[in-house]
Structure 1
Amino acid sequence: MKDVSLKRLKDCMKRAEEGEELTIGFLGGSITQGSLATTMENTYAYRVFTWWKQTFPKANVHYVNGGIGGTTSHYGVSRAVTDVLMYQPDFIVVDFSVNDEADIFFQETYEGVVRKLLSWDSKPAVVLLNNVFYDTGLNAQEYHNEVGNWYQVPHVSVRDTIYQRMKAGEYIREELTPDGLHPNDKGHKLVAEEIEKFLESVKAELEVEEKEPVFPKAMTENAYENAKRLTIREISPKLCGFHADTEEKTGHLDHFKNGWIGKKAGDSIHFEVTASCIAVQYRKTIQLPAARAELVLDGDKEKSILLDGNFDEDWGDCLYLEKVLHHGEKKIHTVDITILPEEVTDTTPFYLMSLIIA
């Protein structure tokens, strides 16, 4: 990898050799969460954590997994602190390469993630992971790795390794993944091995001195580095029919909590936020039919946005994120959401999880 700094990673390994306490963290989507592995111990993330424990037996090593299925770096940048960074990690693997689209918007939100991790007080060593769609070879790694190169952060690519070996006939797709995306136990093991190969190569040259890279100015407009997620814990909107969810959230995978619920036509909720970027996060559900809502920004009903709670996939409810404003004027904006009338009755209620602002 060209112009990569390994100083943080080597410093982390040296502290591990000396028997210090370390926290190994992961931030990403469903593959990072461990989807389709039979047990937690068979996931790529836990296998990499196990590598740290076995390689540095004197160290007291802790595990933090901030993977949430079906989520992008847009959501990731808003939850990086609560799901990973608050544990003061020393090493973090980041992967949103199959959830982010390959475009400049997600390059900007991804840069926000990378900058937030690198600037955290614990100074974690960061490694970017590029998973892949095994049927097509598609992912967002060109956009993501451009960010990595800008910050001299190393990256490990499944597309450039395991996927190429599969194309060459070493494996068939079904050996690695039943759905063309999420690895099975063997697939997770191979992903972990690629990360471990990289870590072993760094450990083999631990005594070669590295310089800490200068933290550069942002590559993109970088509007999302300080994105905030607003739930019932952070903001009190005006409720007209909507009600705040009173169920307690039990953890970062207990998704549909700390939000607001609208049940009948005309129920509405009104926010006032100061931001230049706004998105709403709501539930798209497989429990059909589901309520739909209309969002109006700054009173402009001619540009209203439909928030459709009906999900056309079958794998489960989705933490859907809808962009409302991107690189707008930073000022006080109003967001009004109103439940629409439906021809059918007994719809699944509309669940508004949060606003994400930057």
Structure 2
Amino acid sequence: MVVNMVRDAGDTPEADIHQGITAPCDPVGVKETNNEATFDYCSPEYHKMISQSLLNKGHNARLKRAIQKAGQGEPVVMAYIGGSITHGAGAIPIHLRSYAYRSYERFKAMFAPSDSRSIQLVKAGVGGTPSELGMIRYDRDVLGDGQIQPDIVVIEFAVNDADDETRGNCYESLILKALAADNKPAVILLFSVFENDWNLQDRLAPVGWHYNLPMVSMKDALVEQFHKTKQEGNVITKEQYFHDIYHPTNLGHQIMADALGHLFDAVNHAELDQDDHDLRRPPVIGDDFVHVKLLDRKNGNQLAKINPGCFAQTDTDLQMAEMDDHDYATPLFPHNWMYTRGDRAEAQKFKLQMRCRCLLLIFKDSGSDEFGTALIKVDGVLTKQANPHEVNWTRCHAMLLIQDKHVREHTIEIEMAEGHEDKRFTILGFGYVS
């Protein structure tokens, strides 16, 4: 298997680098919302910085097929899944200036200029969530529960997966879940970076090398030059790139889109690779969750035996996200179970019985004092404590309960902790592998 690396601007012709840049080459630059005066997208230094984002071209047959389909006017679906950066946080307006929307627009301009309506955007970024939740959301938010077949899938969890309890198993499982689809989509790994120069690329990139996937690294593009003066080769400052310590500005989102555009162009000009990704290889970290599915109030009684007890209400104050190219936000996990105090102690418990080998709880974090801590028993043993105030804002929180190699009958009991009986707690759903 040949691994194609691009580390130097000299590896790609200057004209080709230009092709992947989203912004028009206007020396006047763009006035940014952070009051930075101008920015030059045409400088050789900028093109070199963008070229350094290309960590790996990867095996190109799947991406070249999507490019060819676009050029022939056939429908192409571009999907993006990740955290708040994929959601578009820091971009104004969020639905039109995110890196996902801009790279989708660039792809259309590059490969389907005559009929861009044939290219569809699926954007499934949710703030504050790792691949531990992303893999559960994938079927619903990316595949539309079987109605959508993406041709390109961009996965961006490099700054969110510190919370992944499996330390990469969920991430690799999500990648394999996407790669294994019958229509063989191109899977691209995108590594964002925080203002403190941190991401999880060292943990996650080996998965990309293992399957020879296209990989784009904002850390490789940006961090070294962040610490240089203009005379030493600085292209963009942290103040220009970051809206806050986590999220890019409009300019930062555009640079991310340019990096993806550079990958598209590099693959378009490369010779076609004949072999496909070898998915028979043993995983680097793990593949326990490739077949994970969502269980919630909508389908739960078809999949398991459930006694909701006092978790009988439905919570409507949920985390929201602008999905796809929508300018409105969609509530996440609306088919949930919310606890409100009951009279009898036994009726307080939520009880789920089902056969599975892996199980994750999804619950609601909240900044409201009305919410309290719940205790989780697995097969009669107190296993976890779910505190909705770990981050003190409304978000979806995934927690691993069971990870086994064999399917067995399990019983899950959830009840409020002592002293929290007058509080609320929302079970958003479960991720299960049967």
- Whether TM-score is above 0.5 comes out as yes
Aligned to 1:228: 293
Three-state SS of the structure 1 residue aligned to 2:166 is: helix
Three-state SS of the structure 2 residue aligned to 1:181 is: coil
2:340 to 263, 266, 272: 263
Aligned to 2:177: 116
Contact 1:131 1:157 (8 Å CA) reproduced: yes
Once the two structures are overlaid, the 10-residue window that deviates more, 249-258 or 184-193, is: 249-258
Question: What CA deviation, in whole Å up to 9, does each residue of 1:76-111 have, x standing for no partner?
Answer: 111212111242111111111111129882321111
Three-state SS of the structure 2 residue aligned to 1:342 is: coil
Aligned to 1:335: 412
User: 1:136-215 counterparts in 2 under 5 A?
Assistant: 137-169=197-229, 170=234, 171-205=236-270, 208-215=272-279
Supply the distance in 1 between the matched residues of 2:335 and 2:99 (Cα, whole angstroms).
30
Going from structure 1 to structure 2, the CA distance change for 1:304 and 1:127 (only over 3 Å counts) comes to: closer
Q: Are 1:283 and 2:338 counterparts?
A: no
Aligned to 1:44: 99
Three-state SS of the structure 1 residue aligned to 2:219 is: coil
1:79 to 132, 137, 149: 137
Supply the distance in 1 between the matched residues of 2:218 and 2:429 (Cα, whole angstroms).
33
Aligned to 1:58: 114
Supply the distance in 2 between the matched residues of 1:51 and 1:254 (Cα, whole angstroms).
29
Contact 1:292 1:339 (8 Å CA) reproduced: yes
Aligned to 2:425: 350
Contact 1:311 1:318 (8 Å CA) reproduced: no
Contact 1:286 1:311 (8 Å CA) reproduced: no
Supply the distance in 2 between the matched residues of 1:102 and 1:30 (Cα, whole angstroms).
14
Q: CA deviation at 1:247?
A: 6.0
Supply the distance in 1 between the matched residues of 2:165 and 2:364 (Cα, whole angstroms).
25
Supply the distance in 2 between the matched residues of 1:356 and 1:191 (Cα, whole angstroms).
31
Aligned to 1:216: 280
Supply the distance in 1 between the matched residues of 2:316 and 2:373 (Cα, whole angstroms).
22
Once the two structures are overlaid, the 10-residue window that deviates more, 287-296 or 9-18, is: 287-296
Supply the distance in 2 between the matched residues of 1:227 and 1:193 (Cα, whole angstroms).
33
Supply the distance in 2 between the matched residues of 1:168 and 1:16 (Cα, whole angstroms).
40
Going from structure 1 to structure 2, the CA distance change for 1:211 and 1:261 (only over 3 Å counts) comes to: same
Q: CA deviation at 1:210?
A: 3.7
Going from structure 1 to structure 2, the CA distance change for 1:6 and 1:343 (only over 3 Å counts) comes to: closer
Contact 2:172 2:286 (8 Å CA) reproduced: no
Give the fraction of aligned pairs with identical amino acids, expressed as a percent: 24
Q: Are 1:322 and 2:404 counterparts?
A: no
Q: Quick one: which amino acid aligns to residue 70 of structure 1?
A: G
Aligned to 1:254: 331
Q: CA deviation at 1:113?
A: 0.8
Contact 1:248 1:257 (8 Å CA) reproduced: no
Supply the distance in 2 between the matched residues of 1:126 and 1:187 (Cα, whole angstroms).
22
Going from structure 1 to structure 2, the CA distance change for 1:139 and 1:22 (only over 3 Å counts) comes to: same
Q: What is the aligned residue count?
A: 350
Q: Quick one: which amino acid aligns to residue 308 of structure 1?
A: N
Q: CA deviation at 1:328?
A: 6.2
TM-score, with structure 2 as normaliser: 0.75
Contact 1:166 1:173 (8 Å CA) reproduced: yes
Aligned to 1:2: 3
Supply the distance in 2 between the matched residues of 1:90 and 1:284 (Cα, whole angstroms).
34
Supply the distance in 2 between the matched residues of 1:243 and 1:140 (Cα, whole angstroms).
39
Aligned to 1:245: 314
Q: Quick one: which amino acid aligns to residue 310 of structure 1?
A: H
Question: What CA deviation, in whole Å up to 9, does each residue of 1:150-172 have, x standing for no partner?
Answer: 11111000111122222224233
Contact 2:189 2:213 (8 Å CA) reproduced: yes
Q: CA deviation at 1:329?
A: 4.8
Supply the distance in 1 between the matched residues of 2:366 and 2:163 (Cα, whole angstroms).
26
Contact 2:173 2:286 (8 Å CA) reproduced: no
Q: Quick one: which amino acid aligns to residue 351 of structure 2?
A: H
Contact 1:263 1:339 (8 Å CA) reproduced: no
Q: Are 1:134 and 2:215 counterparts?
A: no
Going from structure 1 to structure 2, the CA distance change for 1:259 and 1:123 (only over 3 Å counts) comes to: same
Q: Quick one: which amino acid aligns to residue 13 of structure 1?
A: I
Contact 2:64 2:272 (8 Å CA) reproduced: no
Q: CA deviation at 1:120?
A: 0.9
Going from structure 1 to structure 2, the CA distance change for 1:183 and 1:103 (only over 3 Å counts) comes to: same
Contact 1:244 1:258 (8 Å CA) reproduced: no
Q: Quick one: which amino acid aligns to residue 209 of structure 2?
A: N
Supply the distance in 1 between the matched residues of 2:224 and 2:386 (Cα, whole angstroms).
40
Supply the distance in 2 between the matched residues of 1:221 and 1:311 (Cα, whole angstroms).
27
Supply the distance in 2 between the matched residues of 1:295 and 1:203 (Cα, whole angstroms).
51
Q: Are 1:93 and 2:149 counterparts?
A: no
Going from structure 1 to structure 2, the CA distance change for 1:293 and 1:176 (only over 3 Å counts) comes to: same
Q: Quick one: which amino acid aligns to residue 98 of structure 1?
A: V
Q: Quick one: which amino acid aligns to residue 350 of structure 1?
A: F
